[in-house]
Amino acid sequence: MKTYSRFFYLLLFLVATLPLKAQTWKNPNAKVEDRVQDLLSKMTLEEKISYCGSKIPEMERLGIPAFEWYGEALHGIIAWNCTQFPQNIAMGSTWNPDLMYDVATAISNEARALKNAGKKEVMMFSPTVNMARDPRWGRNGECYSEDPYLMSEMARMYVRGMQGNDPNYVKTVTTVKHYVANNVDKYREKIHSNINRKELYEYYFPAYKTCIVDEEATGIMTALNGLNGIPCSAHNWLVNGVLREEWGFEGYVIADWTAVEGIETRMHYAKSQAEAAAMAIKAGVDQECYRNKTKLAPMVYALDDAIKEGLMTEADLDVSVGRLLRLRFMTGDFDDPALNPYSKIPSSVLECEDHKKIALRAAEEAIVLLKNDNALPLQKSSDKLAVIGPFANRCWMGIYSGHPKSKVSPLDGIQKYLGSEVAYAEGCSVTGDKSDKEKIKEAVAVAKTSDKVILIVGNDEETSTENVDRKSLKLPGKQHELIQAVKEVNDNVILVLVPSGPTAIEWEQENLSGIVCAWPNGQEQGTALANVLFGDVNPSGKLNSTWYKSDKDLPDFHDYSIQSGRTYMYYKGEPLYPFGYGLSYTDFEIKNMKLNHKKLSVDGRLTVSIDVENTGGQEGKEVVQVYIRDLKSTQKTAQKALKGFKKVTLEKGQSTNVDIIVPYEAFSYYDTTQNEYMVEAGKFEIMVGNASDNIVQKKTVFVEGGVIKPRKVGQKSAYYVSSDPNRFKKWDDLYEDTSFLYAKGSKNKKASGIVFKTVFNDPGFYVNTWDAEVNYELVSEVANIELQMLSNPIGTYKLKKSKGVNSSFSIKIPIPPEYGKEVTLNAIPHQGNVKIKSIKIIPPKGNKPYLIYPAKVVK
């Protein structure tokens, strides 16, 4: 009887556990790799293939809903009502990786909040770590720096903040892009970057390696261009060789927009789509970026033929799909939300006050004071102030921006700071049009009657964006002419730049008394600018790239060799503003430099100790910068190379000691014969200053020769700081008071005015805005009308009868909050009598325009 009972209970146990063992992929306690293999074994070939594009269809029989592997979070989630932080080029100018961590934490909290609400997924195509080697690149604004060390340290903390520190789950998936050397945008999908191996390893690879090896970034996006004759998305050495074998990368690789298709159609490297898809998979690429309402990625359609034709096997495909599934397990997609700490992040974090405060702090620290002949800070006095320029009454946040409810333009910020209106004139358009002559006249008239002028100029997506490279470092259009015309009638001009990168303003540097670089600086840019201009905040930003005097100072755009005279490391001319440069309203003294070693042994660490004193009259922040130079080398080496920095805050009269650690690895070069990093024995000069051209302390150290041990995932580099507090923080440590996270929010008020309804269909590619024309009938002499989408402001427009009773004006509609669903636009009259007859929607890239008409009027 006892034997029968034992057998019965054993059978009962086996029956009870059979479903769990049969559904290993649903078991959160099982190993991730076991879960991946179990789910993979249950998928059909068609289902596996469907995973290789951004739009992943539903797998109904397995209970897995449709999924979109597509998200943008460059400096804020591209969505509505999400906080927009300073553009990457601005964040790089903060020289503050801790601040970068806070920004990334806020961005990823908002991403998770949207996922938890069922609105977005957390597969993010960022950060961009392409080196800013040439400021003419259309996407230069997406870069943190021209310097590989500064780039690495900023990108490191972006990845850390985005992925979070939970041991079991990642908060968001980061996709480091564009691998590699995509620094020309025009014809990028057809051209090759030709770079020798030494410069790849010393300049173009380091930031990727930092993100992968040290921070264990989850994804990589291969670039649209080719490298040395092979398309990046079919480059076996680049992906399998370097990324997966050398660096030990276990994450997923996605090809940039239809780049796999382009292996055949644009690069002519493959003979068919099937061959192109097989090349990508066999090179280590798992997925192709493509989003369309009805079509899947070209790679998806080609993979079945690739297998049937024997160009690859289903086992090859399994490797790629397994990597993609692994990421979904890591995000917790198939687990009980109660197990995942990030499932608790509520929608109340979206554009919350804490995030806006971080955006403001980042914007303030990003602003760089370029020139100050006692012109700044301005006094809050009775002086008549004018704010002029095409970027004055506009909150330009840069490309790949979302659409927050709150956006503070420079004009808004200054008027709010002063508590009164100031004189304003647009001055001219950004790129130049027939009305500029009249606009410049208006600006001159305003400047004549003002005591001081804040002149705000720059460049935007019309001259620098994806697929559009800058033609010149000069300000586009008639902006230089505007500056000169205003200066001719008013000597008290403060120039504020909102550029996508280094800008040639040699005349302005010689003739104006105050110049500020404010960047596309996020949604709080106007408040930050006012705080800096009027001295409430002491500017502390430092340039993250060399600013040249002229286009003539740059090598050929397609020359990828850094040693040909690019960046502060190899440029031998006199720059307009050097790398690391930035002024302050106070003065600092850097002194008493000490080294802990006279001779640095293999794998040793050099501590550079320095005293910093604030000798000026107010609190300020200074960035202590450490550069090294090889005094005698058999290699061609940089004139100087940044290897350490630290930002410190000091009250007036206060001093502090700063220790900056420079690891042995910092003295290495890449040996192309041995294919490894080596240190050549000899003397190195250690230089400390507050800019690359302002070195105030120097000492030499003898460094022993040796080899740098290879590092891959699981083996951190010498730059990795395991004790960094940012490695232990939880998602809600960002907030001093967490009570708002769980408070019930109030319902949005219904917008009034003239209501229009429409559906925006996905054009299948990224655009920042849609064009539209508003057709109106003006009854009164003048009228002011505000346009909103889903209660979010698009802009306010002043209409004059002198331009015609029946007329129209052009607008830019921000990316719709969601494609394929009906959205509401509101036209709200604030002054005068105007009838909005229709709005002409102009889809991007030549798609047919259409008219929408008023649905109703809401009082």
Amino acid letter, residue 21:
K
* pLDDT of 13: 46
Q: Is 66 exposed, middle or buried (0-12, 13-18, 19+ CB in 10 A)?
A: exposed
Location of structure tokens 């297998």: 307
Amino acid letter, residue 542:
K
CB 474 within 8 Å of CB 499 = no
Would you place residue 15 in the very low, low, confident or very high pLDDT band (cuts 50, 70, 90)?
Answer: very low
Q: What is the DSSP string of 168-207?
A: S--SSEEEEEEETT----TTTTT-EE---HHHIIIIISHH
CB 480 within 8 Å of CB 511 = no
* pLDDT of 780: 87
Q: Tokens in use for 369?
A: 């004071």
Encode pLDDT of 514-569 as tens digits.
Answer: 999 999 999 999 999 999 999 999 999 999 999 999 999 999 999 999 999 999 99
Q: Which of 379, 659, 338, 366 is nearest to 524 (CA)?
A: 366
Who has greater pLDDT, 9 or 222? 222
* pLDDT of 817: 66
Q: Where are the alpha helices (DSSP H) in 68-147?
A: 88-92, 97-116
Span 34-45, average pLDDT: 97
Span 766-795, average pLDDT: 83
Encode pLDDT of 46-72 as tens digits.
Answer: 999 999 999 999 999 999 999 999 999
Q: Tell me the backbone φ, ψ of residue 222, rounded to 5 degrees.
A: -80, 150
Span 714-732, average pLDDT: 96
CB 155 within 8 Å of CB 203 = no
CB atoms within 10 A of CB 442: 16
* pLDDT of 460: 95
Amino acid letter, residue 182:
N
CA distances from 375 to 424, 508, 764 (A): 20, 14, 49
Query: 97-116 and 353-366 are packed helices; what angle lies between their axes, rounded to 10 degrees?
Result: 150
Using CA atoms, how far apart are residues 783 and 785, in angstroms rounded to an integer? 7
Span 18-24, average pLDDT: 64
Q: Tell me the backbone φ, ψ of residue 706, rounded to 5 degrees.
A: 175, 180
CB 569 within 8 Å of CB 641 = yes
Using CA atoms, how far apart are residues 285 and 462, in angstroms rounded to an integer? 33
* pLDDT of 12: 47
Would you place residue 115 in the very low, low, confident or very high pLDDT band (cuts 50, 70, 90)?
Answer: very high
pLDDT at 779 over 70: yes
* pLDDT of 585: 98
CB 399 within 8 Å of CB 465 = yes
Q: What is the DSSP string of 391-420?
A: TTT-----SS--B-S----HHHHHHHHHTS
* pLDDT of 833: 86
CB 627 within 8 Å of CB 580 = no
Q: Tokens in use for 265?
A: 């159609």
CB 90 within 8 Å of CB 520 = yes
Location of structure tokens 């801790």: 98
The pTM assigned to this predicted structure is: 0.92
Q: What is the DSSP string of 28-46?
A: TTS-HHHHHHHHHHHS-HH
177-202 burial code (b ≥16 CB/10 A, e <16): bbbbbbbbbeebbebbbebeebbbbb
Mean pLDDT of the chain: 93
pLDDT at 11 over 50: no
Query: 148-163 and 97-116 are packed helices; what angle lies between their axes, rounded to 10 degrees?
Result: 30
Q: Which of 122, 116, 114 is nearest to 81 (CA)?
A: 114
To which H or E segment does residue 814 belong? Answer: strand 806-814
pLDDT at 787 over 90: no
